[in-house]
Amino acid sequence: MDIAILLFLIVINGVFAMSEIALMTAKKSRLQKLAAEGSKSAAKAIKLGEDPTQFLSTVQIGITVIGILNGILGEAALAGPLSELIISIGVPVNLAPTISTISTVVIITYVSIVVGELVPKRIAQFHAERISTLIAAPIGLLASISRPFVFLLSISTDAILRLLGRSSSDEASITEDDIHALLHEGSEQGVIEKQEHSMMRNIFHLDDRKVASLMTPRSELVYFDTEQSWDENLPKLLRSDYSIYPVTRGGMDNVLGFTTSRFLLKASHQEHRTKWLMRNLLPCLTILENKVGSQLLELLRTTGEEIALVVDEYGDAQGIVTQKDLLEALAGEFKSENPNDSWADQISEEEWILDGSIPTTVLKDTLNLSALPEEKEADYQTLTGMFMWLTSKVPVVGEVIQYQEWNFEVLSIDNNRASKVRVTRI
């Protein structure tokens, strides 16, 4: 009979342990969804979770009382029979009580840890919300019954926490790193598609990316100059791969607006082509190069425009940025008809050919780097910028730098920037 009671107490201890872990690990969002669907148990579980000192005190009282009872009953239930068994196998009578007591402690401890702690806690981790709704009412009832003692424990706990500089109302806030960890775990387990994980990660990176890293730089732009004839402008426009062009007066230092391939085609059928084009220019939005991606998104969203001129603090044009650039920052680079336009081409597991304009965030993802050299102190946004920061000069063909397990070698230069860089694992 004593053994049956002992096992029953161990099981009850397991229920308390299970309740503790379930209520601590249950996702509040899921419980709120169940409560919204009419689950009163979920609502009770949420209420218990909002006052952790109350339910933890109740659980701890139960576990402590059961631990004391286990010690008392264990001695009575097992020590005597074990002592007789030990004597029967030839152990001296004077040693039998000591050995039986030690054996009793070992047996009860083992069963209590496995049945009363580990197994219930693992079950609670797997089914936290379901178990929380099942035990919310019983734990709530026990909390009401033991309220005076729990009140005393709660006051004592809160007082000690205040002495330590913490408040019982303090909650661990969810950080961006926590969300990244959840997304990574979901991706590894197949709950979240890898492309979805990548897009979510890029959304968080949008606030880290300067507009300068998203734009097409001034040196690569093709523009329509109103001070040149139509026949002078048209060949360079036809040779380009762009569909949107700045319209300038005398060069990129005086941008009047933007036009598209469609408007150029329409203008070509007009009697006064340049005048017609000027009357139908798209507005010239401007944004500072040191603004971040989320600010660009808000600008394009509120104005309804597709393109903006990127300027420095002196108002000089540095490049242009479009909705497509923003979309690529979120969804990843779109495959281009021109293979030379790709940011990263993987040759093998040990080698990449990278474009010098590859943004630093994409560079880190491509090479699986957690950080780049001196990136916190520096203000570079591209691989070329990294070269210039580390070498304090314009890159030259054949120049090599090393970082962590990678070797970076400049293969070609275009307009004072590294157009292609070979990256090999050291």
Confidence of residue 336 (pLDDT cuts 50, 70, 90): low
Q: Which of 102-111, 238-247, 416-425 has the lowest mean pLDDT?
A: 102-111
Residue 111 has pLDDT above 60, yes or no: yes
The encoded tokens of residue 26 equal 């249950």
Mean pLDDT rounded to a whole number for the chain? 83
CB 124 within 8 A of CB 36: no
Q: Is 401 helix (H, G, I), strand (E, B) or coil?
A: strand
First to last CA, the chain: 70
Look at strands 307-311 and 285-288 and give their pairing.
Answer: parallel
* Angle at the Cα of 159 from the Cα atoms of 157 and 164, rounded to 5 degrees: 95
Predicted local confidence at residue 288, as pLDDT: 93
* Structure token pair of residue 142: 């026990």
Between residues 186 and 410, the one the model is more confident about: 410
Dig out the tokens for 387 from the structure.
């070269």
- Cα 176 from chain centroid (whole Å): 5
Sign of the C-alpha dihedral computed for residues 159, 160, 164 and 168 taken in this order: negative
**Whether 214 contacts 359, CB under 8 Å:** yes
At 150 the pLDDT is 73
Range in 139-143, 188-192, 302-306, 379-383 the model is least confident about: 188-192
Sheet hosting strand 317-322, strand order edge to edge: 216-217, 317-322, 307-311, 285-288
The label of the residue with tokens 């009047």 reads 256
Those residues whose C-beta lies under 8 Å from the C-beta of residue 20, and which sit 6 or more positions away, are 55, 56, 59, 121, 124
Residue 379 buriedness (CB in 10 A; 0-12 / 13-18 / 19+):
exposed
**Start-end of H helices in 250-312:** 261-267, 273-279, 293-303
CA distance 175 to 173: 6
Other Cβ atoms closer than 10 A to 173: 6
d(CA 399, CA 351): 17
Name the DSSP letter for residue 220: G
* Residues paired with 400 in a beta bridge: 409
Max mean pLDDT among 133-142, 253-262, 336-345 falls in 253-262
| Assigned CATH for 211-331 | 3.10.580.10
- DSSP letter (8 states) at residue 229: -
Percent of the chain with pLDDT over 90: 13
Which is more confident, 171 or 335?
335
Q: What H or E segment, with its residue span, contains residue 201?
A: helix 194-205
Taking the C-alpha atoms of residue 333 and residue 347, their distance in angstroms, rounded to an integer, is 18
Per-residue pLDDT at 173: 61
pLDDT of 170 over the 60 cut: no
Q: In terms of residues, how long is the chain? A: 426
Six-digit token string for 421: 């860089």
Tokens 């402008």 appear where?
233
Structure tokens at 198: 């990548």
CATH number given to 339-425: 3.30.465.10
Residue 141 banded pLDDT, cuts 50, 70, 90? confident
CA dist 51 and 238 (Å) reads: 69
In one-letter notation, the amino acid at residue 378 is A
Which ranges of 26-175 does DSSP label H, i.e. alpha helix? 28-36, 40-50, 52-74, 80-88, 96-113, 119-126, 128-145, 147-163
Question: Rounded CA gap, 166 and 53, in Å?
Answer: 13
